[in-house]
Amino acid sequence: MNIPETPAIVVVDDDALYRKVLILLLKKHRFQIFFEAENGSDCLSRMAAIIALPHVVILDIEMPVMDGFETAKKLKEKWPQVKIVAHSAILDARARDKIMAAGADHFLVKGYESARIAEAVWLVLNEV
């Protein structure tokens, strides 16, 4: 994958306020926000309707309608080149292992500093 100068990011989280804060943090680090979604189903529908794909999806684990586990699995089945940074407010090794097995490329516990999310995005983009 060619690493873009300004990666396109999708933010998927059911908490609208958290989504807005995360988007502001990402913009501060000069990332392009492709779109935002409130759950996995919304994300997958929007991904299917577009031609160009985002480089990275930042994905919450705990969401109504379609959780992050199912979303990650479906994202990787349909668009394996899209990187996934999963995050959750719950620090649980089993949940982390499960989301990584579902296809996430990186995992963060919510409450991280803004630099950590930027580092995670660049980390997954640089993975071969």
Tens of pLDDT along 87-107? 988 778 888 899 999 999 999
Place of tokens 């990787």: 76
Give me the CATH number covering residue 96. 3.40.50.2300
Q: Would 2 be classed as within a structural domain?
A: no
Q: Would 3 be classed as within a structural domain?
A: no
pTM for the full predicted model: 0.91
**Number of separate domains in the chain:** 1
How is the beta sheet containing 56-60 ordered, strand by strand?
Answer: 32-37, 8-12, 56-60, 83-88, 106-109
In this prediction, residues 107-127 reach a mean pLDDT of 84
DSSP-H helix ranges across the chain: 16-28, 40-48, 68-78, 93-102, 114-126
Residue 80 vs residue 4, higher pLDDT: 80
Residue 83 vs residue 5, higher pLDDT: 83
User: Which residues, in sequence order, are CB contacts of 12 under 8 Å at separation 6+?
Assistant: 36, 37, 38, 39, 40, 42, 43, 57, 58, 59, 60, 63, 68, 71
Tens of pLDDT along 3-58? 677 889 999 999 999 999 999 999 998 899 999 999 999 999 999 998 889 999 99
**Domain that residue 95 falls in:** 8-126
Q: Would 102 be classed as within a structural domain?
A: yes
> Residue 90: which region, alpha, beta or left (left: phi > 0; alpha: psi -120 to 50)?
beta
DSSP state of 35: E
Residue 49 tokens, joined: 């309707």
Residue 63 vs residue 4, higher pLDDT: 63
